[in-house]
Structure 1
Amino acid sequence: MRDTKKSILLSALGLFARDGYEAVPVSAIAGELGITKGALYKHYKNKRDIFDSIVSRMERHDAERANEFQMPTGSFSHMEEEYLRVTVDRLVEYGKAQFRYWTQDSFASSFRRMLTLEQYRSPEMGRLYQQYLVSGPLGYVADIFGSLGYVDPMEKALGFYGPMFLMYSVYDGAEAKDGIIAAADSYLEKTGNRLREEKNI
Structure 2
Amino acid sequence: MIDTKERILQVALKLFARDGYEGVSVRNIADVLGITKGALYKHYESKQDIFDSIIKRMKESDTEKAKKFDVPVGTFENAGDACRNIAFENIKAFSIEMFKYWTEDEFASNFRKMLTLEQYRNPEMAILLNQYLTGGVVGYAKDLIRESLLNTRNSEKDAEIVALEYFAPIYMLMGLADNSDDKDTALKMVEKHIDYFMEIMRRE
TM-score norm. by structure 1 comes to 0.87
Which residue of structure 2 lines up, in the alignment, with residue 128 of structure 1?
Answer: 128
Which residue of structure 2 lines up, in the alignment, with residue 194 of structure 1?
Answer: 200
Cα drift, residue 189 of structure 1? 2.1
Cα drift, residue 96 of structure 1? 0.7
Amino acid at match of 2:40: L
What does 1:54-69 correspond to in 2, within 5 Å? 54-69=54-69
- List alignment gaps of at least 5 residues for structure 1: 72-81
Would you say the 8 A contact 2:149–2:201 is kept in 1?
no
Number of residue pairs matched by the alignment: 188
Which residue of structure 2 lines up, in the alignment, with residue 74 of structure 1?
Answer: none
* Partner secondary structure for residue 84 of structure 1: coil
- 1:153 aligned residue (153, 159, 171): 159
Cα distance, 1:142–1:62 mapped onto 2, change above 3 Å = same
Alpha-carbon deviations, 1:47-85, whole Å to 9, x = none? 0000011011111111101111124xxxxxxxxxx5225
Cα drift, residue 122 of structure 1? 1.0
Which residue of structure 1 lines up, in the alignment, with residue 79 of structure 2?
Answer: none
Would you say the 8 A contact 1:99–1:164 is kept in 2?
yes
1:84 counterpart = 2:90:
no
- Alignment partners' CA distance in 2, 1:120 and 1:29: 23
Which residue of structure 2 lines up, in the alignment, with residue 97 of structure 1?
Answer: 97
- Alignment partners' CA distance in 2, 1:14 and 1:56: 16
Query: Structure 1 vs Structure 2: percent identity of aligned residues?
Result: 44
- Alignment partners' CA distance in 1, 2:131 and 2:54: 15
- Alignment partners' CA distance in 1, 2:75 and 2:60: 22
Cα drift, residue 149 of structure 1? 6.1
Would you say the 8 A contact 1:69–1:90 is kept in 2?
yes
Amino acid at match of 1:103: T
Which residue of structure 1 lines up, in the alignment, with residue 175 of structure 2?
Answer: 169
- Alignment partners' CA distance in 1, 2:28 and 2:199: 49
Alpha-carbon deviations, 1:70-108, whole Å to 9, x = none? 24xxxxxxxxxx522582210111001111111111011
Amino acid at match of 2:41: Y
- Alignment partners' CA distance in 2, 1:61 and 1:43: 22
Larger Rg: 2
Cα drift, residue 143 of structure 1? 1.1
Would you say the 8 A contact 2:88–2:149 is kept in 1?
no
Q: CA RMSD in A?
A: 1.8
Cα drift, residue 33 of structure 1? 1.0
- Alignment partners' CA distance in 1, 2:13 and 2:94: 25
- Alignment partners' CA distance in 1, 2:52 and 2:162: 34
Cα drift, residue 193 of structure 1? 2.7
Which residue of structure 2 lines up, in the alignment, with residue 75 of structure 1?
Answer: none
What does 1:8-19 correspond to in 2, within 5 Å? 8-19=8-19
Would you say the 8 A contact 2:74–2:147 is kept in 1?
yes
- Alignment partners' CA distance in 2, 1:58 and 1:145: 25
Cα distance, 1:85–1:108 mapped onto 2, change above 3 Å = farther
Which residue of structure 2 lines up, in the alignment, with residue 143 of structure 1?
Answer: 143
TM-score norm. by structure 2 comes to 0.86
